[in-house]
A = this chain, B = another copy of it.
Amino acid sequence: MSLARFAALLADPTRAAFCTALLDGRAWTAGELARHAGVAPSTASEHLSRLIEGGLLAEERQGRHRYVRLADQTVATLIEDLTAFAERGAPAPRTLREATRLSAEARARTCYDHLAGRLGVAVADALLDRGLLADEAGLTVTEHGRAWLAEQAIELPPRAGRRGARPVVRSCLDWTERRTHVGGALGAALCRTALDRAWVERIGSGRALRVTPSGTRALHDLLGVRPEATAAR
């Protein structure tokens, strides 16, 4: 596919809205996306087919539902990068609602399937500070780190690290912080754990997260993440 044809997939407001919504890493149904973007179901259906055809989205049919999600992490990164570029130098948001959403996402959000925003960066820093990760020609999990993960009962997928599977740790550049945070299978496992154990919870239907009181404590006790790092300003 040519560059132009590919870019055209994201060049429509409705399709762009779909992709932005899907950045939360969850699978949405066709109807949810249609309502979210304010178009008729028939319109949404055609858009989804094109996005899937173009390799940006993956679908999963269940009964009468059509679930779609971003095809993989690289798509999520690409869309975040493009958005960051498009929005650079953008004027301050004009509505309070918008300002609140942006501020919440800057504080803590999901980036496809892992943690981003100040929370994501703080966790990455903590893992490096404690020697659980090392930064030598790319991030790697240390021996110490493996032991810690086992201790915390944070499980990586069985095939993690094998040839062909997704890398265990992948650094991912954060557009709000301009800092790297932890992606890859480890990033996904950490995010899943944080949601499962109610360290964080989703705010509304978007990508923004709130760190719960017990989460604040857990992150501090386990990783030394300072509460200020993720508190509302």
Contacts and interface: CB of A to CB of B under 8 A. Distances in A.
Interface stretch (A10-18, A60-68, A189-197): A10-18
25 contacts: A1-B86, A2-B86, A3-B10, A3-B16, A3-B20, A3-B79, A4-B11, A4-B13, A4-B15, A4-B16, A6-B85, A6-B86, A7-B8, A7-B11, A7-B82, A7-B86, A8-B8, A8-B11, A11-B11, A55-B88, A74-B85, A78-B82, A82-B82, A135-B136, A135-B137
B137 A6 contact: no
A10 B4 contact: yes
A50 to B, nearest CB: 13
Contacts of A9: 7
Contacts of A212: none
A90 interface: yes
Interface of A: 1-13, 15-16, 19-20, 55, 74-75, 78-79, 81-83, 85-90, 135-137
A92 B12 CA distance: 30
A105 B213 CA distance: 55
Contact of A81 (B20, B78, B137): B78
B11 A82 contact: no
Nearest to A5: B86
Given A2-B86, A78-B85, 13 more contacts: A1-B87, A2-B13, A3-B20, A3-B79, A3-B83, A4-B15, A4-B16, A6-B82, A6-B86, A7-B11, A7-B82, A55-B88, A55-B89
A111 to B, nearest CB: 15
A121 to B, nearest CB: 14
B10 A7 contact: yes
A15 B3 CA distance: 10
Contacts of A90: 1
